[in-house]
Amino acid sequence: MSQPVHPDYIKASNLILITLVLSVISSFFTPNIGIVTPLMKIGVVILSIIINGLIAYFIRRGSETVKYILLILLLFGLASIPMMISLFKTRPVSSIISLVLMAIQVWVIVILFKIPKHNISYKPERGPDAV
């Protein structure tokens, strides 16, 4: 039988799944810009779903490595904040969703780094009648 994972892994995984849904919704509010074709846009959405889905899966399994991967991806994403702010007047919905996504991802990283290392100290809660 597998060892139970800390409940915060489940919370973090659920939050990543929320970002997955929000990013798909955001793609409908993002117009095609320049050389970006609708087919390329669909490819980016599919790639985003795959990456976020894998991150959520490994978080839910209790992987400790994925928090570092998510941190690196978030650091790359921070470079886009000035662009999001500058596009706020022309694309407010997309900009707001992007900022919300980034805030949720920061929250996920905080949750993941607060989980005790190796999940050793986690013991599932037992009821008052447990022996």
Q: How far apart are CA 102 and CA 125, in angstroms?
A: 32
Q: Please, which residues have CB within 8 angstroms of residue 78's CB and are 6 or more apart in sequence?
A: 102
10 pLDDT more than 70: yes
3-state secondary structure string across 64-87: CCHHHHHHHHHHHHHCCHHHHHHC
Three-state secondary-structure class, residue 118: helix
Does residue 2 belong to any structural domain of this protein? Answer: no
What distance lies between CA 15 and its chain's CA centroid? 6
More confident residue, 15 or 2: 15
For residue 52, what are the domain limits?
7-114
131: helix, coil or strand?
coil
Asked if the model's pLDDT at residue 8 lies above 80, the reply is yes
**Does residue 77 fall inside a structural domain?**
yes
Percent of the chain clearing pLDDT 90 (strictly above) = 45
Report yes or no on 107 lying in a domain.
Answer: yes
pTM for the full model? 0.80
Domain count, the chain: 1
At residue 128, the pLDDT reads 60
- 125 belongs to a structural domain: no
Both tokens of residue 121?
């100290």
Span 92-122, pLDDT tens digits: 888 888 889 999 999 999 999 998 876 555 5
Q: Is residue 126 part of a domain?
A: no
Q: Does residue 108 fall inside a structural domain?
A: yes
Domain membership of residue 39 (yes or no) is yes
37 lies in some domain: yes
